């Protein structure tokens, strides 16, 4: 037993309240080392009558470690606990400070979860687990009101550049809500809508005004109301890390220098404001002079931005915020931001843009979720680029699941492309088989999936500006078969609770392999997904219950014989099989 690899700490993803009555405990060990693990738990004030051994299950693994997990529902909402580690006949007890061969006599030296205070329970909005998001880049989705067009607007569908405009607006979105309903979308994430000078609008000029190229607040209210009537939630993009160069306080600093009353709204290293050898004399997003970084520790800045966050929820009724460059803003600001937003709408979804491991932002006091780019990388590396074998893919997914509390993983924002990346079809070098398999995993995995506008019709595009092409509305240029694949995939997800909130377990993911099988289970409902990412046919032999299994894509039935599913899958084939008796 390699005790050096065993790890636990009483917080974060290792020991947390899943709800107001349940505590989840996790423990890490060397991969394949332990054969059984138990939590030794009870109430510290009634230890002798409440202590018990709770079996832990191996809930996920990565390349180096196994992660064991159990749930406890303590009578009095508090818990003292240690662990019993077993490797065949060898037994070791783990306390807070050491390992020992004898059972601890009392709870004094064990780990502790002091009390489940309801206010401390990390509770993301429940609706997100059932959401299917659709990301819209407003300037490129649809031109519904030509009277709003910017000067020198380009013909719809012409070649995009970093600086040109095509006249997309909010009315254009309203005109195409039927498309979103037909696809099965029930949540929209808009990139910024507020007044700015660029086509992407990440250089905010006025946080309290809809960009006039898109419409006005009345149009946005109309859009949100129409979406809500159709069961569609609306998420707006908040750029609070930095403003635009035409933001009035920044213009004042440019004009008045050290005498400006707004000089402390920004991080200025020296006056005058200028760019020296490509580096501004003030902090910015990256080194972009047109995007000065806001000083969110300044009380006036904080008050202004928090009013912005509250205004669009209370006045327009949006359902949450996506937060740009969220990891570069101070944590204290996000704590206050969460309080303001949740007071305005307790069911608002707070989504941070972070591209790396994000546990410090997912402790229940800041965000509900982050944009799950580690998931993106793993899916693309296996299904699209072929940089991972099946075992490596399973390890990457397992590592990601181990990092966060379950409630964070259940509402993680799982995307495969966006306005910041090449499009999925381009990443797949035009291979729609690979594209379909990546999407299939995305929609049958834990978390909320997001489609980037136009992917459902087979739009391609390299990174910015290629990924920001105009939406293709000409039916002759749309891949309607791909649209039907996405529509059916969303329908299956919406109809099967196990695909949204069930447990996730890999059943097959071999070294140097190119096929995976996994199970989603919720109560008595069991679904097994088979995916062959190889260009040749392969046969799956999976241990399952001996009963009939319905392929939810084809309605065909497969019978498990002698406790095994034997299914031959064609090149790039897949099946979503549900146990039916």
Q: Is 384 exposed, middle or buried (0-12, 13-18, 19+ CB in 10 A)?
A: buried
Q: Which residue has the tokens 């309801």?
A: 118
Distances (CA, A) of 16 to 22, 139, 167, 347, 526: 9, 42, 48, 21, 27
Angle at 563 between CA 557 and CA 565, to 5 degrees: 40
**Strand locations in 427-470 (E):** 448-452
Among 246, 224, 156, 234, smallest CA distance to 191 is for 234
Q: How far apart are CA 531 and CA 506, in angstroms?
A: 12
Q: Which residue has the tokens 């929609």?
A: 443
**From 353, 389, 410, 550, the catalytic residue:** 353
Q: How far apart are CA 282 and CA 204, in angstroms?
A: 17
The CB density around residue 88, as the number of other CB atoms within 10 Å, is: 9
Counting runs of H as helices and runs of E as strands, what totals does the chain give? 14, 30
User: Can you give the C-alpha Rg of the chain in angstroms?
Assistant: 26
Task: Decide: helix, strand or coil at residue 517.
Answer: strand
Q: What is the DSSP letter of 191?
A: P
Q: Is 49 exposed, middle or buried (0-12, 13-18, 19+ CB in 10 A)?
A: exposed
Distances (CA, A) of 541 to 236, 259, 530, 545, 568: 46, 74, 10, 13, 9
Distance of CA 15 to the CA centre of its chain: 22
User: Is 264 among the residues known to form the active site?
Assistant: no
Q: How far apart are CA 439 and CA 380, in angstroms?
A: 10
Packing angle of the helix pair 331-344, 299-311 (nearest 10 deg) = 30
Which H or E element spans position 223? Answer: helix 217-229
Q: How far apart are CA 246 and CA 256, in angstroms?
A: 15
**From 324, 410, 455, 519, the catalytic residue:** 324
Q: How far apart are CA 35 and CA 85, in angstroms?
A: 8
Q: How far apart are CA 442 and CA 266, in angstroms?
A: 40
* φ/ψ (deg, to 5) at 123: -130, 85
User: Is 410 among the residues known to form the active site?
Assistant: no
Q: How far apart are CA 378 and CA 392, in angstroms?
A: 9
- Contact between 40 and 81 (Cβ < 8 Å): yes
Instruction: Supply 286's token pair.
Output: 């990256």
Catalytic residue positions, numbered: 324, 353
């Amino acid at each position: 037993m390699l005790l050096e690899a065993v790890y636990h700490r009483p917080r974060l993803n290792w020991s947390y309240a899943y709800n107001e009555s349940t505590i989840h405990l996790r423990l890490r060990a060397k991969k394949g080392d332990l054969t059984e693990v138990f939590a030794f738990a009870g109430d510290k004030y009634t230890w002798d009558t409440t202590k018990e051994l709770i079996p832990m299950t191996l809930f996920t693994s990565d390349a180096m470690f196994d992660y064991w997990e159990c749930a406890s529902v303590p009578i009095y909402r508090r818990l003292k606990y240690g662990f019993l580690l077993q490797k065949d006949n060898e037994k070791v007890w783990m306390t807070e400070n050491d390992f020992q061969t004898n059972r601890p006599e009392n709870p004094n030296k064990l780990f502790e979860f002091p009390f489940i205070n309801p206010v401390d329970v990390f509770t993301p909005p429940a609706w997100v687990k059932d959401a299917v998001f659709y990301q819209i880049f407003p300037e490129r989705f649809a031109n519904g009101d030509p009277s709003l067009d910017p000067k020198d607007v380009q013909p719809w569908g012409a070649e995009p550049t970093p600086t040109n405009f095509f006249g997309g607006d909010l009315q254009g979105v309203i005109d195409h809500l039927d498309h979103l309903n037909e696809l099965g979308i029930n949540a929209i994430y808009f990139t910024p809508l507020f007044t700015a000078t660029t086509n992407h609008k990440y250089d905010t000029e006025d946080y309290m005004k809809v960009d006039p190229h898109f419409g006005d607040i009345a149009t946005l209210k109309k859009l949100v109301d129409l979406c809500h009537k159709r069961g569609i939630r609306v998420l707006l993009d908040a750029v609070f890390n930095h403003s635009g160069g035409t933001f009035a306080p920044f213009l004042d600093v440019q004009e008045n220098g050290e005498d400006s009353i707004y000089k402390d709204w920004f991080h200025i290293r020296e006056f005058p404001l200028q760019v020296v050898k490509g580096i501004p004399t003030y902090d910015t997003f990256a080194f972009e002079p047109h995007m000065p970084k806001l000083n969110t520790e300044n009380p006036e800045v904080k008050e202004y931005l928090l009013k912005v966050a509250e205004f669009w929820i209370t006045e327009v009724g949006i359902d949450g915020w996506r937060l740009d460059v969220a990891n570069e803003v101070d944590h204290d600001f996000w704590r206050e931001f969460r309080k303001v937003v949740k007071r305005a709408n307790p069911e608002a979804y707070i989504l941070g843009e972070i591209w790396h491991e994000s546990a410090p932002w997912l402790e229940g006091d800041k965000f509900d979720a982050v944009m799950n780019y580690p998931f993106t990388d793993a899916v693309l590396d296996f299904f699209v680029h072929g940089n991972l074998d099946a075992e490596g893919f399973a390890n990457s997914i397992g590592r990601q699941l181990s990092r966060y509390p379950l409630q964070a993983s259940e509402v993680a924002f799982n995307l495969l492309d966006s306005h910041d990346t090449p499009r999925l079809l381009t990443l797949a070098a035009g291979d729609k088989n690979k594209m379909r398999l990546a999407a299939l995993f995305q929609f049958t995995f834990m978390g909320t999936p997001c489609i980037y506008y136009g992917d459902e019709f087979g739009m391609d595009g390299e990174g910015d500006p290629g990924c920001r092409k105009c939406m293709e509305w000409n039916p002759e240029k749309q891949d309607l078969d791909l649209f039907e694949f996405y529509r059916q995939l969303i329908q299956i997800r919406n109809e099967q609770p196990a695909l949204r909130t069930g447990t996730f377990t890999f059943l097959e993911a071999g070294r140097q392999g190119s096929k995976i099988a996994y199970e989603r289970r919720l109560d008595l409902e069991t679904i097994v997904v088979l995916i062959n990412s190889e260009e040749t046919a392969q046969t799956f032999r999976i241990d399952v219950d001996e009963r009939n299994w319905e392929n939810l894509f084809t309605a065909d039935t497969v019978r498990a014989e002698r406790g095994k599913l034997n299914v031959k899958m064609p090149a790039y084939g897949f099946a979503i099989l549900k146990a039916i008796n």
